[in-house]
Structure 1
Amino acid sequence: MKLKYWLMLAFLIVMLLPVAAGWALYSLYNYYNDQRAVTEYVELSGQLAPIELALSDPGLYQLHSPDAFAALSELENGRVNFALYLPTGIRVYTSEGSTWSAGAYTVGGAELYRNLYNLQIRHRTFSLKKPVWEKGELVGIYEIVMLRGDWLEGISLRTTWVMGLAATFFILLYGTVLWLLSRKLFRPMKYLIERMDAFARGEAATDVVPVRHDEMGILLQQFDAMQDKIRHTQADVEREQKEKELMIASLSHDLKTPLMSISAYTEVLNGDRQLKRLERQEYQDVLLGNVERMKQMISELEMYTALGSSESEMAMVKVEGEEFFDMLLGSYEGLAERGQIDVKMDVRTDQLYRVHPEQLMRLTDNLINNALRHTRTNGVMGLGVIASDWELPEWIIPSLRAELDNYRAGATLILVQNEGPAIPEEQLIRIFEPYVQHQNQEEKTYAGGSGLGLSIAKRVAIKHGGDMRMWSYEGYGTLAACRLPEHGECKCREGG
């Protein structure tokens, strides 16, 4: 139940329960009073019989001298009182005092004749009125009042019981309300405060919060979700910070070598030593080469940073896949003669794509240059663009076919595969991180380059709505696959 509805219901019950309990206690008290009254009346009825017999004498209902009522004084006791009235309402005798003179005390007719024959049960007394007849004529009315002695003696005990029951009920009600509030509010608030304190101290909460479906449960769940999100954000910030520190350290290291070379050659050129024209030209070429290398490293760092920004957007254009990729991969046909390798090229697509041509060309260049550095002499390098509804080429590593089919579901793969040494697993899982380069285990050397090529390629793939993965197997080589979303079949191809 929602907490607000539970509180509304609880407040209603707390307000109604005392009323209900008071009504029940009052009803129980009245029931006990009635039962006790009947018992007392039965006990006193034996005492009333001689009194009623004496008061039924018609001769008493006249204005007499006090001596005429001397016999009635014997019936008087501390618990029973009686009075005699004429039909006109004049009281002729009362056991509480002397006889009144005529007209000294009268009772109104309505009051005198009210509740005849009916036993009136009051808090302290019983009262009974009856008429007295003589020869069919009403001559008087007597009223007997009996004091409820046993009842009055038990008032203090009953009062104690009533007060005790009321106090017990209040304590139970108060305790129940506190227990329910603790269960519904105080305990979840305590959990929340403890988890907030633990989070502020940087500690992970170890207690398991029970599953709740009210507002407090939702609040606890949202706080836990907020903690997870903040921790993930902190982890991402720490990872990015370490990445930046690594990038700065790696860039500083990579720039140090060309800077030292530039410094050394500049000193030679500016020195007193007479250099030949060819030597001077050679030194200048070295200087220019190092400057170009530094410019390339800085350019790639700028590109990597720009691609990682969430605010950077690339202007995409829609292209026909077969024509675009034939042109893109066609520029690499000269690799076979230049690198003494066998290049196998396949373009199998009739889909449309939204691409940034320059960035996609950069992605392909980075993958192919990386593959060239690791392809053995006279080895085979495969280049391919395969749409989701086409078969994979024959040169793909056989054990990867099923996995690639699942990976490319609904998308096109850009494939670059080389024959060379396998990349160890511990290096492969970090191969797309910046400044992480494959180390040749035989020569104990790194692949060369700036260390950002594959990182830039993956970020370009992500900007295109795709992804990139890499596999490496001993005896086969390494395969890089870029997943590119498709945007429908090319209509012109269908018409042709």
Structure 2
Amino acid sequence: MKLKYWLMIVFLIVMLLPVGAGWALFSLYDYYNDQRSVAEYVELSGRLGPIEQALSDPGLYRLQSADAYASLSGLASDQVNFDLYLPSGIRVYTSGGDPWSAGAYTVRGSELYRDLYDMQIRHRTFTLKKPVWEKGELVGIYEIVMLRGEWLEGISVRTTWVVGSAVIFFILLYGTVLWLLSRKLFRPMRQLMDRMHAFARGEVPMDDAPVRRDEMGTLLKQFDAMQEKVRQTQAEVEKEQKEKELMVASLSHDLKTPLMSISAYAEAIRMDTQLEPPERREYWDVLFGNVERMKRMIGELEMYTALGSGELEMAMVEVEGEEFFDMLLGSYGGLAEREQIDVKTVVRTDHLYRLHPEQLMRLTDNLMNNALRHTRANGAIGLGVIASDQPLPEWIIPTLDLELDKFRTGSTLILVQNEGPAIPEEQLDRIFEPYVQHQNQEGKAYAGSSGLGLSIAKRIAIRHGGEMRMWSAEGYGTIAACRLPEM
């Protein structure tokens, strides 16, 4: 339940419960009063009989001396009092006062004749009024008042019960409200504060709290998502920082060799004036070759950094797949012949694509150069572009059919497979990281590359909305697969 609706219902219940409890207590008190009144009336009815019989004497209802009422004095007590009235309202006798002053008190007719024959139950007394007749004429009215002794004696006990019940009800209501607020507000807020403190200390809190579906649950989820995002960002920043440190160290190491070679040959040219022209041209070729190598390394570093920063704007164009990839893959035939390697080219697509031609050529160049370096002389390289609705070529590693079909779902694959030695699993997991190169069995990395080729290729694939993976199998070689979205 939403927290706002829950609070509205709780506030309504808190407002109505005291009213309901008061009404229930009043009803219970009224019911008890009625039951007790009936019991007292039945108990006192036996005492009323003799008094009513004595007061029904018509001779008592006239103005006369107090001696005429001497017989009535024994009927009165501290529990029972009675008054005698003439029809005109004059009181002729009262058991609770001075008999000589009885005639000086007069009651109005409307008050005197009210509630005749009706037992009036009041908080402290029972009152009964009845008329007295003589030969069909009204001669007087008597009023009997009985004190409710037992009822009055229990007032203090009942008051204690009522006050105690009210206190217990208030404590239960207050405790229930506190428990509900703790369950709905205080406990989630404490969980949120604990998570905030743990996050500030760099700890990962153990989340064993039940799933909540109110606003506090949403807040906890959003905070967890926020701190997870912050942790991912921190991890990415740390990773990028390590990559930068690694790139600087690797670039410094890689530049050191051509720089030393340039320095040595430049010093030889400067110091040795007896060099023959062919030797001098050879020295100059070495110098310019090292300079070009350094320029190529710096260019690849710039490209890798630009692809990762997001500041490089790639102008995508729409191309017809079969025509574009026929032209692209056909350009590697001469290169393979020069290296004495057989290239098996397959293009199976009739889809349209949105891509950056120059960057896609760079991606394919990097994959082909990597395959050429790892393929033995007179070996073979498989090069293909296979759409999602076309069968895979026959030269791929047989054990990868299902995995490649799953990987290419809804996309076209650019495949480059060599026949070199298999890459160990522990190296395959990190092969796309910058400056990470496969090492041969002697522990030496393959030379001739900057270590950024596969990293650049993967970033180009990602910028095209795709992905890149690599598989390797002993006895077959290694295959690199780039997934390219289809229009």
Same fold (TM over 0.5): yes
Shift of 1:442: 4.3
Please give the per-residue CA displacement for 1:270-320, whole angstroms capped at 9, x wherever unaligned.
447554433333333222222211111111111111111234331111122
CA distance in 1, matches of 2:447, 2:286: 21
For 1:251-330, what aligned pairs fall within 5 Å after superposition? 251-271=251-271, 274-330=274-330
Q: Give the 3 Å change call, closer, same or farther, for CA 272–311 of structure 1 in structure 2.
A: closer
CA distance in 1, matches of 2:415, 2:47: 121
CA distance in 2, matches of 1:23, 1:349: 84
Shift of 1:63: 1.3
Does the CA-based 8 Å contact 1:438-1:447 persist in structure 2?
A: no
CA distance in 1, matches of 2:178, 2:387: 68
For 1:338-487, what aligned pairs fall within 5 Å after superposition? 338-442=338-442, 444-487=444-487
Farther-moved stretch of structure 1 (128-137 vs 208-217): 208-217
Q: Give the 3 Å change call, closer, same or farther, for CA 223–142 of structure 1 in structure 2.
A: same
Give the secondary-structure state (helix, strand or coil) at the position aligned to 1:75: coil
Does the CA-based 8 Å contact 1:439-1:447 persist in structure 2?
A: no
Structure 1 residue aligned with 2:29: 29
Residue 171 of structure 2 is aligned to residue 195 of structure 1: no
Give the secondary-structure state (helix, strand or coil) at the position aligned to 1:313: coil
Please give the per-residue CA displacement for 1:91-128, whole angstroms capped at 9, x wherever unaligned.
11111222456972211111000000111111111111
Give the secondary-structure state (helix, strand or coil) at the position aligned to 1:446: coil
Shift of 1:142: 0.8
For 1:16-415, what aligned pairs fall within 5 Å after superposition? 16-99=16-99, 104-271=104-271, 274-415=274-415
CA distance in 2, matches of 1:221, 1:314: 37
> What amino acid is aligned across from residue 480 of structure 2 in structure 1?
A
CA distance in 1, matches of 2:35, 2:374: 109
> What amino acid is aligned across from residue 358 of structure 1 in structure 2?
E
CA distance in 2, matches of 1:101, 1:173: 58
Unaligned runs of 5+ in 2: none
Structure 2 residue aligned with 1:491: none
Please give the per-residue CA displacement for 1:395-417, whole angstroms capped at 9, x wherever unaligned.
22222233323322332222222
Does the CA-based 8 Å contact 1:92-1:100 persist in structure 2?
A: no
Farther-moved stretch of structure 1 (113-122 vs 289-298): 289-298
Q: Give the number of aligned pairs.
A: 487
CA distance in 1, matches of 2:248, 2:103: 125
Give the secondary-structure state (helix, strand or coil) at the position aligned to 2:254: helix
Please give the per-residue CA displacement for 1:472-491, whole angstroms capped at 9, x wherever unaligned.
2222222222222222xxxx
Does the CA-based 8 Å contact 2:124-2:152 persist in structure 1?
A: yes
Q: Give the 3 Å change call, closer, same or farther, for CA 43–400 of structure 1 in structure 2.
A: closer
Farther-moved stretch of structure 1 (84-93 vs 346-355): 346-355
Q: Give the 3 Å change call, closer, same or farther, for CA 336–310 of structure 1 in structure 2.
A: closer
Q: Give the 3 Å change call, closer, same or farther, for CA 107–400 of structure 1 in structure 2.
A: same
Does the CA-based 8 Å contact 2:86-2:141 persist in structure 1?
A: yes
Q: Give the 3 Å change call, closer, same or farther, for CA 15–315 of structure 1 in structure 2.
A: same
Q: Give the 3 Å change call, closer, same or farther, for CA 103–67 of structure 1 in structure 2.
A: closer
Shift of 1:150: 1.6
CA distance in 2, matches of 1:37, 1:390: 100
Farther-moved stretch of structure 1 (106-115 vs 461-470): 461-470
Instruction: Give structure 1 regions of 4+ aligned residues with deviation exceeding 6 angstroms.
Output: none
Does the CA-based 8 Å contact 2:94-2:102 persist in structure 1?
A: no
Does the CA-based 8 Å contact 2:318-2:355 persist in structure 1?
A: yes
Shift of 1:443: 7.2
Unaligned runs of 5+ in 1: 488-496
CA distance in 2, matches of 1:112, 1:479: 119
CA distance in 2, matches of 1:456, 1:318: 22
Output the TM-score relative to the length of structure 1.
0.93
Output the TM-score relative to the length of structure 2.
0.95
Please give the per-residue CA displacement for 1:364-385, whole angstroms capped at 9, x wherever unaligned.
1111111111111111122222
Please give the per-residue CA displacement for 1:126-172, whole angstroms capped at 9, x wherever unaligned.
11101111110101111111111121112111211211121122122
> What amino acid is aligned across from residue 172 of structure 2 in structure 1?
L
Farther-moved stretch of structure 1 (423-432 vs 215-224): 215-224
Does the CA-based 8 Å contact 1:347-1:384 persist in structure 2?
A: yes
> What amino acid is aligned across from residue 44 of structure 2 in structure 1?
L
> What amino acid is aligned across from residue 3 of structure 2 in structure 1?
L
Does the CA-based 8 Å contact 1:470-1:478 persist in structure 2?
A: yes
CA distance in 2, matches of 1:318, 1:356: 9
